[in-house]
Amino acid sequence: MLPLLFTLMFGIIELTMLVRDNIAVASAARVGVRAATTTAAVMSGPGDCTYRDLDAAVCGVGSSPAPGLAELAADAIQSSGSSMNKDTIDYILVYKANTAGYPGPEGNTTMTCSGYSSCVTFKWDDGPGKFRYKNGTWPSTSVNACAGEADAVGVYLHITHKFLTGLFPADVALDDRAVGRFEPLPPDNCKSTSPFPHP
């Protein structure tokens, strides 16, 4: 009887932690998309990827083809006060979303940057505890945030939830995505003469 009670107790603990991480993933994706859709993010231009200290904003190594808004999204997730263990994070995608909420052209329903433009991947680096640019491109000048025609941006987060007690034999992949439309820029910022002109 006692072993059964312990099994039930550990099972409840493991499932509670699984649900907690699942909620945290959804919340973190929304944090990222909120950061990416602001006017300040859109106006940030290309990413700044000089080397930074641990507490500084997220950045890739060398010159990044990611727009500043993607780095701001990664930074927001990195610094969010989530209950999720950050070391379980595998990667995030920040991308121009189609109407179904995925990267790539209309009709695509796969969550990958491979073969698509306007999509960048950041991989979690356990050592310094921060995101690093991995691959993909999204020129900041191609971002359309003009009133009435603003693009949508998606943030996808993938983690590996690790069970603690050994009651469940395998780790579980958890993921979620959030999509939001860019805040409209003032009309003057949509002109070719603006510092970071938008289509």
The full set of domain ranges for the chain reads 2-190
Report which of residues 137 and 191 the model is more confident about. Answer: 137
Provide the pLDDT confidence category of residue 50 given band limits of 50, 70 and 90. Answer: very low
C-alpha–C-alpha distance, residues 9 and 185, integer Å: 53
Six token digits for residue 32: 């990222």
CB 69 within 8 A of CB 78: no
Where do the H-state alpha helices sit in the chain? 2-36, 39-42, 68-79
- Between strands 130-137 and 172-181, the pairing is unpaired
CB under 8 Å, gap of 24 or more: what pairs does 164-168 form? 164/13, 164/14, 164/17, 165/10, 165/13, 165/14, 167/7, 167/10, 167/11, 167/14, 168/14
Determine the average pLDDT of the residues in 39-50: 70
Give 111's DSSP letter: -
For residue 163, CA distances in Å to 18, 19, 24 come to: 8, 12, 16
Q: What is the pTM (predicted TM-score) of this model? A: 0.82
| Mean predicted confidence (pLDDT) in 47-53 | 50
Q: What pLDDT score was predicted for residue 55?
A: 44
- Predicted pLDDT at 112: 92
In angstroms, the CA 23 to CA 30 distance is 11
